[in-house]
Amino acid sequence: MKHLSRYAMIFILLTLCSCAYALQAKNANIREEFDQGVKAYNKMLRWREVENAGMLYMDPALRDAFMKSAEEFKKRDVIITDFRILTSECLPDKKTGEVLAEFDYYVLPSNRIKTLTYRQNWIYLDTEEKKGWQLKSGLPPFD
């Protein structure tokens, strides 16, 4: 009987360890997807693919407002020369992420470089319709 209890305890411990490992692996995948999405989104802004960035990454409820900002961005001839990710925090358990990015840009016809800080709030969706990271923050004002 004592041996049976030991085996049961070992089995329970192994099961718990495997569940913890699976959760850790899932969280690592979510973090990797977050990093990839953040980089891709910001690169799209850098290369003036603002509409595509909005279609791929913007929360559908906020997409119309984002597209209006994207149109204004293009009309004003905002040129982003560089961007840097200053901070990036991914919280897989809460399905949220936050990024602080910095953009160097100019607005034609001026060639004076300005710098702007852009806080991005992200959420992770895991539904039948959509799985992945979506942005909850619109474009900042490139003045």
Burial of 104 (0-12, 13-18, 19+ CB in 10 A): middle
Residue 99 has pLDDT above 80, yes or no: yes
* Class of CATH domain 2-135: alpha beta
CA-to-CA dists, residue 45 to 9, 18, 54, 58, angstroms: 54, 41, 9, 13
CA-nearest of 105, 98, 101 to 80 is 105
Q: pLDDT tens-digit profile of 18-52?
A: 544 444 555 789 999 999 999 999 999 999 999 99
Mean predicted confidence (pLDDT) in 3-27: 56
Residue 17 has pLDDT above 70, yes or no: no
- Indicate the helix (H) or strand (E) that contains 124: strand 114-126
Residue 105 has pLDDT above 90, yes or no: yes
Taking each helix axis from N to C terminus, what angle separates 63-75 and 50-57, rounded to the nearest 10 degrees? 170
Q: pLDDT tens-digit profile of 109-133?
A: 999 999 999 999 999 998 888 889 9
Q: Please state the pTM of the whole predicted model.
A: 0.82
The contacts of residue 70 (CB under 8 Å, 6+ apart) are 50, 51, 53, 54, 139
Q: pLDDT tens-digit profile of 63-78?
A: 999 999 999 999 999 9
